[in-house]
Structure 1
Amino acid sequence: MVTAFPVQITLRGRDDECRAVRDLLDGTAGGALLFHGEPGSGRSALLAYARRHAGARTVLAGAGLADEAALPYAGLQRLLDPVLDRAAALPDRQRRVLRRVLTGGGCPDAQRLTLATAVLGLLAVAARDRPLLCTMDDIDAGDPQTAATLAVVARRLSRLPVALVLAATGAAAAGDLPARRLRPLDEGQCRALLADRRPGPPPPAVATGLAAVSGGNPRALVDLADALTPGQWHGAEPLPAAPPAGGTLGAAYRARLDRLPPDTRRALLLAALDPDGDPATLDRAAGAAGLGPEALAPAEAAGLLRAGPAGVTFPHPLARTMVEVVAPLADRRAAHLLLARALDGRPLRAALHRAAATDGPDPALASELEAAAAGADDPAEAVTALRRAAELSDDPARAATRTVAAARRAWTAGDPDRARHLLAALPGDPAGGARADLLRGEMQLRCDAPATAVTTLLAAAEAVAPADRGAALLGLVRAGEAICLTGDHYRYAEVARRAGALRRPGDAADAELLTTFAAGVGATLRGDHEQGGPALRRVVVLGGRLSGPALSPAALVCAAVAGLLVAVDGAAHRLADRAVELARARGERSVLPRALELRAVAEYWLGRHATAAETAREGLAIARATGQRTCARVHLGILAVLAAVRADRTTSLARIAEIGDGAAPGSRPYAYAQWALGVLDLIDGRHADAATRLASLARTGTGRGQVLVQVMATPYLVEAAAHDGRRPTAALAVFDRWASSTASPSRRALSARCHALLAPRGSAEAERQFRTALRLHPTDTDRFERARTELLFGRELRRARRPRDARAYLHRARETFILLGATVWAERAGAELRAAGESVGSPQRPAAQLLTGQQLHIAQLVAEGATNREIATRLSLSTRTIDHHLRNIFHRLGVRSRTELARLFT
């Protein structure tokens, strides 16, 4: 146990409530406040806060006591006792009623208003010398007569210097008084409270876990923090599943339950242990225990649950947990067995209930749990079943296998911390250790240590291969992914060699896909596109044919990677999108960030930059939610590049800053960041810096660095180098070999553009290459890159003293950039147009600043769809005059058609 610091921790997250208390106390008029919330939410702390800030006020404090709930007006007597000596100042009738009531004589219904008036008068007398503050805690736990009387009094305080602050579990305790519900703390507030409680804040994952276990309840959070071991506080051991039964909150719930009849407590425990709240199941279990439907009524009256036709619900989420936690062990086991027998058609849930009532090994029940978990839809339930199956196993090897399976399900569902804790509980050298290492390696790859993952996965794949060739192949492919992520591409040859050794004649489609994929990637990375291209195209075909047991998000991810490597962007996008949808349908959250990464890259190549950014943002959110820090950095890198390409410096630099120092030099996130910075350098005219930065993404011929990222960035590298007369021969040769090996017109268009930029200025070769690029650029996709080629070609023609020829290309480029929202690039095209003799306005300047009043009116009418003849009629001008104005409007706005003009105005 840890001693708390002397800090008012329970007021974390209660700023609004504290402000309401101060406002009430600072006012000259009287009034009342009611705070309500579940036990442990900080109600008593707020009343204490009010008393500390009472200032010059006289303070009366009381509380409702469950032991006195059957004594009418007991709470009122204790609250007013300090000022009863002033009752002599009341009128005789009020004084007699008040004295009779407070001495146990009762109060007939006809005199209840007289009693309330007497209490109000007594408070007024007590407040003559100094204003008064009255606080009443747990008003709904004490006698109801006190609560009813104080509610009447509270409504009549507006003319008195009396403040009344009440606290209760439910809002109905004091009728229609101004009430504030104490909501659960959010994660940030939970973090702050934990930092108050113990020296050295816990790791973020621990704080998140404690916030979830506590449900944002301050008292539960404090009890948890006090009960944690040092290993749990620092994240080395699993966190408890519930607040401790011996904590302050547990004591509060235990006292609350002790006030209920025994049959109600038994029925309430059954309801708490059945997470579905199914009324039929609960009725059967209660009937088997000899309990009638009326057994839950006292619990409902106490506000612990709500019962209805749809079943039982707990208004306070933590109440269900605490009812279970504080119940005696024997009662819990009996309730679990009743529920197990009552469940119909729910084998997994029934087995879990029986397991909860079992102490010691039970091999048969362990096997039943394992079998039922295989078909479970709820990942958390499956993990619990497999973990419990391991605990019930009498064979250490079987226990280890089931623990690894539980960890795998936890990781797949997006909970790496739980998976790690399960793996950490394995014995030193268990059977199935290789499978555990496969899982460890995958988590290292996605979460925090891709360089370590390579060694882990290669060793685990070799160990598991004799027993499970499919698992070994998937491990090898993931080792290859780690190699590409870290930039040590020369090591991929080993992955390809090992995968080739596992190939068998007549392999099923999924095994053939993995071995062919490893061979194709290995060949592509060593520059052998003649061998790599056909292999990867075969993978794309196989990925599109997968069905049945062979269909998995992991296989589709491999097929999407293959599609990107051979530049079949549409197929790659379909495969990645299918992987995303399949992963969602199966609840495999761990693979979603990788699948979304590939979909975003495919959308980049398809020219859908806005969609790619949306996909990457989704991937980033899921990666962060599932603890995949490495994947999160990759998505940040993609977002940085997308922002840089669109000249959004602020967003790009912000994304790079988020990557921080966590990306090792040579890794993919680091390369993406460098690519983004290189593009920003290029846009800012720092061509030498841009070329140096982009050339450093990979070391050609060594197999080190991010070769694939540099291939993507090569068009920008060549553009930057061309300004300084450099020739990035090695990088362009790699790009050319790859582009020519694909059937992608867009890649070959970029290759032609690169050669055009490096050709002598004004030469026939430069013009030929630019025209080839424009012919190859697809017209239905990749509009951004086509516009960039038109801008560069227009600039080349202008510099070759052919301004008239340049304008057509520059106009088209500017139009496309404006339509795509690429304002900076549109400005570049506008600047080139002005240099070519055109007078165009800035796309960032509103039309009202570029046009005369008459021109603006005509432009607005055109945008609305009016013809020249209709505009002439409306303005009493000739159509020739309208034609003249319209030519000037087009010239000033830099548009070439009525459609462009309408778009500009919308």
Structure 2
Amino acid sequence: MQITALPGRDEECGAIRRLLGDLADGGGALVFHGEPGSGRTALLDHAHRHADGCAAIAAAGLAEEAALPYAGLQRLLDPVLDRAGDLPGRQAHLLRRALAGAGCPPEHRLALCLAVLGLLAAAARERPLLCTVDDVDRGDRATAETLAFVARRLRRQRVAVILTTTATPPAGLPTYRLGPLTERESAALLADRLPEPPIPPVAAALAAAARGNPQALVDLAGRLSPAQCRGDEPPPDAPPPDGALGRAYRSRLDELPGDTRRVLLLAALDEDGAPDTLVRAALASGTSIAALAPAELAGLVRVAAHRVTFPHPAARAVVADAAPLAARRAAHRRLAGVLDDPAHRLGRALHLAAAAAGPEPGLATELERAAGHDGGLRASAALERAAELSDDPVCAARRRVGAAAYAWGAGDARRARLLLAGLGPVPPAVAGRADLLRGEMELRGGRTPAAMRALLAAADALAGTDRALALTALARAGEVLCFSGEQYRYADLARRARALARPGDPPATELTSTYLAGVGATLRGDLEQAGPALRRVVVRGGQLTGQALTPAALTWAASAGLLVAVDGAAHRLAERAVELARDTHDLAALPRALELRATAEYWLGRHRAAAESCREGLRVARATGQVNAADVHLGLLAVLAAVRADRETCLRRLREIRDEPAPHRRPRALAQWALAVLDLTAGRHAAAATRLAELARPATGRGQVLVQVMATPYLVEAAAHLPHRPAAAAALAVFDRWASSTASPSRRALSARCHALLAPRGSAEAEERFRDALRLHPADADAFERARTALLFGRELRRARRRRDARDHLHDAWETFTLLGATAWADQATAELRAAGESVAAPDPAAARLLTGQQLRIARLVAEGATNREVAARMFLSTRTVDHHLRNIFHRLGIRSRTQLARALDQDVPVGARSAAGTRVSAGPGSGT
């Protein structure tokens, strides 16, 4: 396949083209420095493809000839040696002598270098000359030094010299360090290499496996099956050892002396990379860490003051795989012998286990205990090895399941699946744990029917031996039903949970059973029973400590908080779940915790924070193979973009959601919600109402009932423009029952707004409901929804020909949207104000910088002469709240009186920006003011 571009190497390719383009006026040199596989050879190929009108000679450094002075120079210059006759006699003699193998005395080396320069200049007389040497550091040193000398002296010659190296580049030459490719550059390289580009999650996984190394990425692409490219099967997680990158490292390894290879093997097996450990182990093997110097020059290892690292995981794997089994076991024993600190308990046990030749139950037990204090992939490896060293099949199976759980928590779903696939017949308790883990993995990143089967089987298997885990399986099964839109089946889960619950259960167990009962009651419409149960879950979640404190328990508590609309508590619980997942490196739990945090932030009106939570959740979900979780975050991002009328971002996120046949999946419902909001803002009210009405059938429990409840305000707003509204009325009835069962003023405000929209236009009922909504919206939270209510109320009043009354609410909406950066909504408020006979000035920049939107509105009213009581009445606040805000306003502006406040605001307002009433607008013709 013809590669037309080198992704991630634009700067280097540009330097090559500039060098070649300027050859008519004089030459120059370039050096490309990078690890094996970084694209050095590809850049030389690029140079030769673009050397139009140039002669070209090329060579590569060969380790086999490293001991033969000038061997590389002889191969490079052989095509142009017929021009040696153009050189002065002494130079020609020195050149022929050196290239014939007779060498060059030190005192004649300058003359020889000048002879090489002269030969290249003579070869370039007829047309410019391109001279390239790949891996110049791998060949003989005399050639490298001569070429570096020549490369520094090409300014007046029509010669271009391009060298590549993995070692320290020669001084005095323009050098480019070839860094790793970004994820986007990796995706571009894959698209150039494959007939069909892989889907974004697969491309991201391959980029992570390649660590930004282009050759590793090419090797991975060569092994990618069509099913892996589509995402139907997990992609490879490491480059193939027999690929081009692996072979490159192996050839460098084969050139190293024995002592170097022995110390290099110790470094490869000691994944901690602590120099102190390696120094002691090297001494124990009869050598020293200084033996690594040739390996460092060869680009196989990097030795820093506090760590020994490998340039790529493939290099470490090649070093370990190339060693005989006996040598590997001996190296492991030496490393175990020097790890005598208690902090290295797991490392010592792993090395001893790697050196073991058969079952060792005692060592298996030590591995299991040490793994419990560590976690992550090392703990997974420890438990897998413990299973291999066990002489009891039941213990082996239990440890294998534990290894899979650690791998899943560390984000390696593929490893977890392989470990579970190797289980044979096991007791019910072990089978239940395995099914619980399988179910969770399928829920987050696989097929929900398979997840449901596994989780119900786990609940059955664990019911008699571990009720807490059985309840956990049922709670996970409930997540499956909510994800797939089959909430009508939740009643069966709640019934099974009641059978497992016992009086006096531990807090975590009680939380899970109560959560199942509360969600079940919510979904069957029994909100009187659901509310107390779910509030008890929220309280229990805040009280968890010790081993009972897990990300799963906190996410269930946060979910309960959202169901009873205690958004602040839900956000705190979700945030705590996020922090705990990060602290314990439980990557598997992080996307769900971030999803709940984003949902709480949506209800709190913190849309920017919600979008950031979703972006982080999307990154983690993709990195850990949780494709279902990734789709949910994409759906939420699309909704958040649509709410802010960002059509381009919304549609881009929707295109990234996988196309699944299941009609009621949560990501699909979120996508329909987002599209409906776009329809609504574009005036396509019937389309918006149809999309939202089809999200669920609450009476049957099918579809995404909870998503439809969240989207009901948009459904009602769309339906308000239609003559027939049965779906909106039905959805609003469900929303009303829920809102009235909570203590949330924001939910009741949305309910009042919805009723105002469905009331007869211009009626007293509509006005009363709008005023109720404005009074109920919290003054210190969710300014966006309050501004939306003000905009809708102002529009209602304007259409009822009450333009003066409308302007107050439209001003409030416009100012809030402007301060929030919600440009599209601010434009709608501007259009309504113009229709009401007024034009809008720019917001007060100084006050906007110092005051919140709420404080700015209060400050303007006070500056106009309104009393605190009048401000409270106009803004539907209490007088005490206005007093509190006014004190903060005085403090922030550094003033002490209302007169100073009026003067301070008046100084910042543009001329003509106030109406006679004092608001920041100028009256237009026919405004009635």
Q: TM-score range by the shorter chain?
A: 0.7 to 0.9
1:427 to 2:424 alignment: yes
CA distance in 1, matches of 2:655, 2:253: 53
**1:364 is aligned with what amino acid?**
G
3-state DSSP class of the match of 1:177? coil
Question: Counterpart of 2:274?
Answer: 278
**Match of residue 689 from structure 1:** 687
Output one character per residue of 1:851-872: Cα deviation in whole Å (capped at 9) or x when no partner: xxxxxxxx9xx9x9999xxxxx
Moved more, 555-564 or 115-124: 115-124
Residues 215 and 318 in structure 1, CA contact (< 8 A), matched pair in contact too: no
Q: Structure 1 CA distance, aligned partners of 2:224 and 2:795?
A: 68
Against the structure 1 CA distance between its residues 763 and 186, is the aligned structure 2 distance closer, same or farther, given a 3 Å change threshold?
Answer: closer
8 Å CA contact 2:349, 2:363 repeated in 1: yes
Q: In structure 2, do the counterparts of structure 1 residues 594 and 257 end up closer, same or farther at CA, with 3 Å as the change threshold?
A: closer
Aligned to 2:384: 387
SS at match of 1:136: strand
Instruction: Return the TM-score normalized by structure 2.
Output: 0.84
- In 2: Cα distance, 1:430 partner to 1:200 partner: 45
2:750 corresponds to 1:750: yes
Paired residues of 1:264 and 1:295 also in contact (CA < 8 A):
yes
State which of 353, 365, 368 in structure 2 corresponds to 1:367: 365
8 Å contact kept, 1:206–1:235: no
Match of 2:477 among 463, 476, 479: 479
Report the counterpart of residue 178 of structure 1 in structure 2: 174
Cα deviation 1:448-481 (Å, max 9, x = unaligned): 3234422331222112221221111111011111
Preserved contact between residue 387 and residue 399 of structure 2 (Cα < 8 Å): yes
Aligned residues: 860
Change (3 A) 1:360 1:190: farther
The answer to whether structure 1 residue 733 and structure 2 residue 733 are counterparts is yes
Q: Give yes or no for contact 1:41–1:182 (8 Å, CA) kept in 2.
A: yes
C-alpha distance in 2, partners of 1:768/1:198? 63
Report percent identity of matched pairs: 64
Change (3 A) 1:808 1:369: same
Selected match of 1:896 from 886, 907, 919: 919
Match of residue 407 from structure 1: 404
Match runs of 1:790-809 below 5 Å: 790-809=790-809
Letter aligned with residue 141 of structure 2? P
Change (3 A) 1:206 1:594: closer
Aligned to 1:535: 533
Alignment check: 8 A CA contact 1:213 1:242 kept: yes
For residue 874 of structure 2, what is the aligned residue in structure 1?
Answer: none
The residue number in structure 1 matching 2:564 is 566
Partner of residue 442, structure 1: 440
* Correspondent of 2:262 among 261, 266, 269: 266
- CA positional deviation for 1:184: 4.1
User: 1:603 Cα deviation (Å)?
Assistant: 1.8
Shift in alpha-carbon separation, 1:430–1:113, aligned structure 2, 3 A: farther
Match in the other structure for 2:291:
295
Matched, 1:330 2:326: yes
Q: What is the rounded CA distance, in whole Å, between the counterparts of 2:45 and 2:251 in structure 1?
A: 22
Structure 2 gaps, min length 5: 847-859, 865-891, 896-902, 922-929
Q: Match for residue 852 of structure 1?
A: none
Do structure 1's residue 522 and structure 2's residue 508 form an aligned pair? no
Paired letter, 1:282: L
Contact 2:246 2:315 in 1 (8 A): no
Compared with structure 1, are the counterparts of its residues 162 and 451 closer, same or farther at alpha carbon in structure 2 (3 Å cutoff)?
Answer: same
Tell me the distance in 2 between the aligned counterparts of 1:154 and 1:296.
30
Q: Distance in 2 between matches of 1:641 and 1:249?
A: 43
Please give the secondary structure, in 2, of the residue aligned with 1:723: coil
The answer as to whether partners of 1:524 and 1:532 remain within 8 angstroms in 2 is yes
1:65 aligns with 2:62: yes
Cα separation, partners in 2 of 1:144 and 1:577, compared to 1, 3 Å:
same
Whether the 8 Å CA contact 1:171–1:181 is kept in 2: the answer is: no
2:306 aligned to which of 287, 304, 310 = 310
Deviation at 1:211, TM superposition (A): 4.7
Distance 1:831 1:693 in 2: 27
Change (3 A) 1:749 1:839: same
Name the structure 2 match of 1:839.
838
Note if contact 2:253-2:300 (Cα within 8 Å) is conserved in structure 1: no
- Deviation string 1:528-586 (CA, Å, 9 cap, x unpaired) is 11111111111111111111111111111111111111111111111111111111111
How far the C-alpha of 1:735 sits from its partner, in A, is 1.7
Question: What does 1:186-265 correspond to in 2, within 5 Å?
Answer: 186=182, 211-220=207-216, 239=236, 243-244=240-241, 249-265=245-261
For the 8 Å contact 1:823–1:844, the answer to whether it is kept is no
Task: Give the letter aligned to residue 504 of structure 1.
Answer: R
Which residue matches 1:854? Answer: none
1:77 counterpart residue number: 74
Which residue number corresponds to residue 654 of structure 1? 652
Q: Which of 706, 709, 728 matches 2:707?
A: 709
Cα pair distance change 1:30/1:453, threshold 3 Å: same
Distance 1:392 1:14 in 2: 48
- Alpha-carbon spacing, 1:733–1:61, altered in 2? closer, same or farther (3 Å): closer
Contact persistence 2:371–2:382 (CA under 8 A): yes
Superposed counterparts of 1:484-633, under 5 Å: 484-633=482-631
When residues 305 and 521 of structure 1 are mapped into structure 2, their CA distance, relative to the original with a 3 A threshold, is: closer
State which drifts further: 229-238 or 451-460: 229-238
Superposition CA RMSD, Å: 3.7
C-alpha distance in 2, partners of 1:200/1:657?
17
Q: Distance in 2 between matches of 1:482 and 1:399?
A: 30
Aligned 8 A contact 2:387 2:397 in 1: yes
1:213–1:243 Cα contact (<8 Å) kept: no
Q: 1:221: how far off?
A: 5.2
- 2:397–2:426: 8 Å Cα contact kept in structure 1? no
CA deviations 1:719-774 (Å, max 9, x no partner) are 33333353543322222221221111222222223333333444443333333323
Answer yes or no: is the 8 Å Cα contact 1:62–1:78 preserved in 2.
yes
Q: CA deviation at 1:632?
A: 2.1
Q: How big is each residue's C-alpha offset from its partner over 1:644-693, in whole Å with a ceiling of 9 and x where there is no partner?
A: 33333333333333335337322322222222333333333333333333
Cα gap change, 1:606 to 1:176, in 2 (>3 Å): same
Please state whether the residue corresponding to 1:896 is helix, strand or coil: coil
Contact 2:211 2:312 in 1 (8 A): no
- 1:770 — aligned with what? 770
Q: CA separation in 1, counterparts of 2:645 and 2:209?
A: 44
8 Å CA contact retained: 1:12, 1:192: yes
Deviations 1:244-288 (A, max 9, x none): 2x5555554444334433222212221222222212211221121
